[in-house]
Amino acid sequence: MIEQFPIKQILDENGYVVNDEYSTLLNEKMAKNFYRHLLRIRTFDRKAISLQRQGRIGTYAPFEGQEASQVGSALALEEDDWLFPTYRDHGAAMTFGHSLRNILLFWNGRNEGCVPPEGKKIFPPGIPIATQIPHAAGAAYAEKQKGTKNAAIVYFGDGATSEGDFHEGINFASVMKAPVVLFNQNNGYAISVPLSKQMSTETIAQKALAYDIPGVRIDGNDVFVVYVETLKALERARNGEGPTLIEAVTWRYGAHTTADDPSKYRNQEESQIRRHTTDPLLRLEKYMKQQGFYDETWVSEVEEQAQAEVDKAVEEMEQYPAANPADIFDHVFAQPTWGIQKQKEEYLRLIGVNP
């Protein structure tokens, strides 16, 4: 089955173009735009980890190593499309126009973190695994019913494909020909469980066969192929041809979250090797150098701009008062049930507040 779903590439690990079909699409402007976004979200990710270690935000889900999957796919979207992220896809959300300040507020426990900029259709991050997939299929179907050409993209990890919500969402999207792209980032582990132990299928892309939709397997560290294949899937969706399942094979260097110790279940030497071989930013840098697009002065400017933007977002985030944990009881139902109200009262008494 794995032969039926080969990994598609445009750039190999050394930055060479290995698929001439798309060579005419590649140019300096595109490469520099991709590089700027990759560097920007990596800068954010590293800063967020530092903030968590200093106790300035809560538990954080890093994504370093997966930048090409998030940037390439998000840049393929149109302004009025929908984006449904998991708790790890803030890189995609940033690329699609989300506020860096609000993303940091999310990781600091404030409700404002779930609010996208005015006019942006970015769903709150899906914390329960795979629950955002039926939501995305429904939103996409609603766009179809309204007669628009808007599409949706929904992100999820390899573990999510073992959840019922994945199968329900993809089945609904298939039956209704909903204009949605199901974008899987396969980093080989469902938290601490390797892919081989949580499913029998050799690939995730082949799961598309059960729902009679296209399944595509791509190199998730090649930002060019991610962009091209997502763009093709979105065009199918807009043309009324229904959903596509994309499996982006990638690798995350760090932990599942900052509360996790990946050395307990994964060989960390592999991550160090990959930093020097398959890294998405390094790969694009190699390509740009070969093409004469890489300029040290320009790169320094991009780094400074990214750092300044992130630092400003941190400053704005820290101007907000600390989150009130009691708020979690206020937004479960439109009108609190007696059970929720009782829990809130018990919590307030626990912290010494008279309810």
Reported as a single tens digit per residue, the pLDDT across 272-293 is: 999 999 999 999 999 999 999 9
Extract the tokens encoding 251: 């690798």
How many residues are present in the chain? 355
Neighbours of 157 (CB within 10 A): 23
Pick 179 or 190 by higher pLDDT.
Answer: 179
State the pairing for strand pair 82-84/121-122. parallel
Residue 324's identity, in one-letter code, is N
For 83-101, how does the pLDDT look when each residue is reduced to its tens digit (9 = 90+)? 999 999 999 999 999 999 9
Marked catalytic residue, from 36, 217, 256, 283: 256
Task: Place 265 in a pLDDT band, splitting at 50, 70 and 90.
Answer: confident
Per-domain boundaries in the chain: 2-323, 324-355
Q: What is the pLDDT of residue 48?
A: 98
pLDDT at 252 over 80: yes
Marked catalytic residue, from 16, 53, 265, 349: 265
* Percentage of the chain exceeding pLDDT 70: 99
Marked catalytic residue, from 40, 110, 217, 252: 252
Do 5 and 205 touch, CB atoms closer than 8 A? yes
Report pTM.
0.95
Query: Has 252 been annotated as catalytic?
Result: yes
Most confident option among 22-26, 308-312, 347-351? 308-312
Instruction: Render 165-208 in DSSP notation, one character per residue.
Output: HHHHHHHHHHHHT--EEEEEEE-SEETTEEHHHH-SSS-SGGGG
The class of domain 2-323 in CATH terms is alpha beta
Kindly state the average pLDDT of the residues 227-234.
Answer: 97
Query: Has 265 been annotated as catalytic?
Result: yes
Query: Has 60 been annotated as catalytic?
Result: no
Q: What is the pLDDT of residue 353?
A: 78
Task: Place 130 in a pLDDT band, splitting at 50, 70 and 90.
Answer: very high
Q: How far apart are CA 258 and CA 49, in angstroms?
A: 7
Do 84 and 135 touch, CB atoms closer than 8 A? yes
Give 120's DSSP letter: -
